[in-house]
Amino acid sequence: MSLKLDGKKLSLEIEERLNNYISSNKKIAKRAPGLAVIRIGEDPASGVYVNNKEKACSRIGIKSFIFHLKDSVEQKEVEQLIIKLNSDKDIDGILLQLPIPKKFDEQKLISSINPGKDVDGLNEINIGKLVKNEPAMRSCTPAGIINLLRSQNITIEGKKIVVIGRSLLVGKPLSLMLLNLNGTVTMTHSKTLNLNKVCREADILIAAAGKPNLVDSTFVKEGAVIIDVGIHRLKSSNKNQTRLCGDVLLEDVISKVFAYTPVPGGVGPMTVTMLLVNTIFSWQKQFGLSSTLNDLLP
């Protein structure tokens, strides 16, 4: 039977440890950690994600500040808000909820976030430090995936790892992080020739293509570990209902794989948990708190 990598269960375990960590250090810091989330526009999925982050913060004692801006807001106004939050001593982390309306210069906004408060790890300073394998904020989804693998003692070093997708949010930082952990990494994308053949070489296959049910049994070798980053809402056979699926056609591959992540309940919860971790790291650094936070992770 294949091993289910239960991100929801692991995230709740880590949250409990984080809650205890905050409780034991809040008297020293004289305040709780603070996370500012900037949402622009009315994208329904963004609304759900922001709500999930707000609830997660509440569960462990992080104070969240939600800034929901209309899509009529100007670029300069958003930049001014970020500058204000950069200097706000009650804010440890700043997150720009993506995607944002196309009229905005997304990278310019991300670049304006103080690297020490860039809890999504997307500022070019943090990306540069990742390339150099120096300590810095790490992107939440890649960090969540790595902790999920570690929680089950799945070895990264020396393994052939194929990543499908090259986004700045997942594919690129994840490939670099795995490389820094001595994985043998191949990054693939929509233009890769014979994609399923390349993927069949993988000991660990990570699907972050953004294409529902792309990965079937022809992509997977016996005994592989498969991580599904995708999440899509599709119409079910009953036209009045929808269902969630990932980039992996799970029912087609589950008999071949050693371990897999479900959708939902796999990578998603760990992404939110690593956002909490990054916020607490920033809080910890500001007040010179105990460095035992690393011991709370797998």
Which member of 92, 118, 120, 228 is catalytic?
120
Count CB-CB contacts under 10 A for residue 165: 24
Which member of 6, 97, 117, 159 is catalytic?
97
Which member of 6, 53, 172, 284 is catalytic?
53
Would you call 97 a catalytic residue per the annotation?
Answer: yes
Count CB-CB contacts under 10 A for residue 242: 12
Does residue 167 have a known ligand-binding role? yes
Does residue 165 have a known ligand-binding role? yes
Would you call 43 a catalytic residue per the annotation?
Answer: no
Would you call 8 a catalytic residue per the annotation?
Answer: no
Does residue 233 have a known ligand-binding role? no
Does residue 254 have a known ligand-binding role? no
Does residue 171 have a known ligand-binding role? no
Rounded Cα gap, residues 171 and 130, in angstroms: 13
Rounded Cα gap, residues 146 and 282, in angstroms: 20
Q: Can you give the three-state secondary structure of the chain, one letter per residue?
A: CCEECCHHHHHHHHHHHHHHHHHHHHHHHCCCCEEEEEEECCCHHHHHHHHHHHHHHHHHCCEEEEEEECCCCCHHHHHHHHHHHHCCCCCCEEEECCCCCCCCCHHHHHHCCCHHHECCCCCHHHHHHHHCCCCCCCCHHHHHHHHHHHHCCCCCCCCEEEEECCCCCCHHHHHHHHHHCCCEEEEECCCCCCHHHHHCCCCEEEECCCCCCCECHHHCCCCCEEEECCCEEEECCCCCCEEEECCECHHHHCCCCCEECCCCCCHHHHHHHHHHHHHHHHHHHHHCCCCHHHHHCC
Close Cβ partners of 51 (under 8 Å, ≥ 6 residues apart): none
Nearest to 100 by CA among 141, 169, 41, 37: 41
Known binding-site residue numbers for NADP(+): 165-167, 190, 231
Catalytic machinery residues: 53, 97, 120
Known binding-site residue numbers: 165-167, 190, 231
